[in-house]
Structure formats: C-alpha cells, structure tokens
Structure 1
Amino acid sequence: MGNKKTAPCEGSGGSLPPLSPTEFRAYNRLSEQMDAFHNHFRMTWNQLYDACTSTGKRPSGLSARQMIMMGLQFCSQLDFHHSIEEQHIFPVLAKKMPEFRKELELLTQHKQIHAGLEKLEAYLEKCRSGEEDMRREEIKRLMDEFGKVLWQHLDQEVETLKADNMRQHWSVEEMRRLPM
C-alpha cells in the first residue's frame, strides 16, 4: 500500500480518506461527461455572441442565415439536454443529493434558462420565416437576458458532479452503476 498513488479529494476537510486514481475516475466520471456537453454549449454561445458583437458586414464569417440556424440549433440542443437531465438524470441523483431536487437551484436555473431560450427561439423563428429582419443587437439583447444564469448553471452543475462531492453521497460501486 505504500506505493499506491492517490488523487486528492478537495473540500473533504480530511474526513474522508484519499481516493485512488481508479476511485477518482469513477467518482469524477459524471462531471467530466457533463463538462464535455457544457463545453459544446459554451463554444456555440461564444460563437453566436461574438457574431452579435463584432463589427463588419459578416461578423465571425457567419451570414445572417447561418447565425439564425446556429441560434436555433443552440436552443434546440440545450432544451433537449435539459429534458434528458430532468427526466432521466436528476431524478436518480436526487435520491441521494438534494442539489438535484425540483425545488432547488439547479432546476430553478433550468426554468430561467428555458424562459430565455423560448424568447430567443421565437425571435429567430420569425427571422427564419422572413417575418422579421435579423438584428444582431436583438439577438445579443435576448442572450443577455439569460446569459448570466446559463453560465453559472453550466459551471455549477459540473462542480456539483465532481468527485469530492459525489463521494459524499455514493459508493464507488453505486457510481459505476449509475445509468449515465
């Protein structure tokens, strides 16, 4: 046992023993998977937002149609991601983790984000149909309405799923059996 390397468990206050690398990977798996999904949303958000704030005829090399389609795809994918979380992931995690129960912050954030997504999607649909001309400043305004809570949520959810928190609620065997 003297040669066994361990991964630190930050925030455990020393009350829990250090994790082996294998245990750390098991406990940290959901955080890493969620971060990969969230990085896609962060990248798309940044690309769309940059296109709204840059100057020139074709900001970030995107045409108006490409911006509209990127925005609609972002709305659809984030809404789908939240649906999967709410229907399949959060109920399992909520059995042992209060952070994932309906009345608490992560799901409240989903509601706030969804309200912003609905407005953005409605505007982009009007632009796509030709009912309205696309205005970058309007897309930016709509994104600004829910951007802060979105970014907080993307980070907080990943943080909540990190090994140091998960190990306080689940055994390694339970982590390996989680259907995610």
Structure 2
Amino acid sequence: MAKDAVTAAQEAKPLPKLSASEFRQYNAMANHMEHFHNNFRQTWKILHGACEAQKRPKNMSIRAFLSLGQNFCHHLTAHHTIEEQHIFPVLAKKMPAFRKELELLSQHRQIHVGLDKLEKYLEECWSGERELRLSEMKEVLDGFGEVLWQHLDDEVRQLGAENMRKYWTVEEMRRMPM
C-alpha cells in the first residue's frame, strides 16, 4: 500500500478507548508543548496589549518592555529551532503535518518573517536609533500575530492524544525526544 494510502487508512479506522494511563502517555507531548506555548501567549498579550492601549504596563520601564520583547523573539526562535532540528524530523516519519513542505513548518517561516522585523525594531529602539512608538510596534506584531496564534493551537492539536495514537504506539511515545 502507498504511504498516503496507509496514512488515510490509519486516520479512517476507529480506535479503541484509551485508558487514563495511555491517554497521559499519548498526550504528554501536547501538554509539554502547551506549557511553552502558554508562555508565548502570555508575553504576546503583554506586548500587544500595551500596543493597543498605547501605554506600557504599569511599573514597566521602556528598557524592561523592550527586553521583554527581545526575550520573546529569542525564546520563540530557540523554541522553533529545537522543534525543527530535534522534534519535527522524528514526527515527520509518520505524521504528514510535520513534513517540511506542509503547514506547521510553513507557519514557522511566516512567523519568522514577522519575528525578524520585530527583533530589528526592538534592537533599533534599544540602541536609540529609533524611538519606541507603540503604534508602529503594533503594526509589526499584527503582521504575524494571526499565523502565530494559529500555529500555537495547530501544533498542540497535532500532538494531542487522539491524533498521536493514530501514528504511534505507546512504546514509541515513551521514546519521543520530548
């Protein structure tokens, strides 16, 4: 049977109910990823919320705000680099969504176009080359916000127990690199 036919067959056949232990094992990667993604969501909300309100959060200096944005850029870049080098190649062996030419990696590329612009903007503000204007920063954030939030949700959904069990055994899940 061709690889796509095997994948279609795996997705079509009804699967037995998981025990609580099996569910935890199959859902472990989703839980782990959700933890990281929630940190990105929280930081995004602070940054974007300040831009929408046109004022920094109470008791946050310009330097602290810029640093928060720079850390967001660096941490998200590191997160995606780890995924692309260590996690996605393993998952791509059986899961189409993690293959290079498909959605999740395409989302990474789209996110990084915006992330690079944000990082450059923040660096220019930090160095004094440019004055921080929250309306300008909001434009940069809005340029990739939708794809970022969609990606954070899509990735966790792909790693959820009901999807993972279509492709992997419990034993294989125990050996996952995450």
* Fold conserved between structures, TM > 0.5: yes
CA contact (8 A) 2:54 2:135 kept: no
Matched, 1:95 2:93: yes
What is the DSSP-based 3-state SS (H/G/I as helix, E as strand, rest coil) of the residue aligned with 1:174? Answer: helix
- Paired residues, what number? 168
* 1:56-88 deviation per Cα after TM superposition (whole angstroms, max 9, x unaligned): 5x4443222221111111000000000000000
Could you say which residue in structure 2 is the equivalent of 1:151? 149
Q: Distance in 2 between matches of 1:153 and 1:51?
A: 23
State the 1:90 CA deviation.
0.1
Q: Distance in 1 between matches of 2:95 and 2:74?
A: 28
Could you say which residue in structure 1 is the equivalent of 2:7? none
Amino acid at match of 1:40: N
Could you say which residue in structure 1 is the equivalent of 2:80? 82
State the 1:114 CA deviation.
0.4
Q: Distance in 1 between matches of 2:54 and 2:177?
A: 46
Give the stretch that moved more between structures: 45-54 or 107-116.
45-54
* 1:7-43 deviation per Cα after TM superposition (whole angstroms, max 9, x unaligned): xxxxx88811100000000000000000000000000
Structure 1, gaps ≥5 residues long: 1-11
1:1-180 correspondence runs (5 A): 15-55=14-54, 58-180=56-178
- TM-score, normalised to structure 2, is 0.91
* 1:99-132 deviation per Cα after TM superposition (whole angstroms, max 9, x unaligned): 0000000000000000000000001000000001
What is the DSSP-based 3-state SS (H/G/I as helix, E as strand, rest coil) of the residue aligned with 1:61? Answer: coil
Amino acid at match of 1:130: G
Q: Distance in 1 between matches of 2:43 and 2:58?
A: 12
* 1:116-170 deviation per Cα after TM superposition (whole angstroms, max 9, x unaligned): 0000000100000000111111111100000000000000000000000000000
Give the superposed CA RMSD.
1.4
Show structure 1 runs of 4+ deviating over 4 A: none
Structure 2, gaps ≥5 residues long: 1-10
User: More helix per residue: 1 or 2?
Assistant: 2
- TM-score, normalised to structure 1, is 0.90
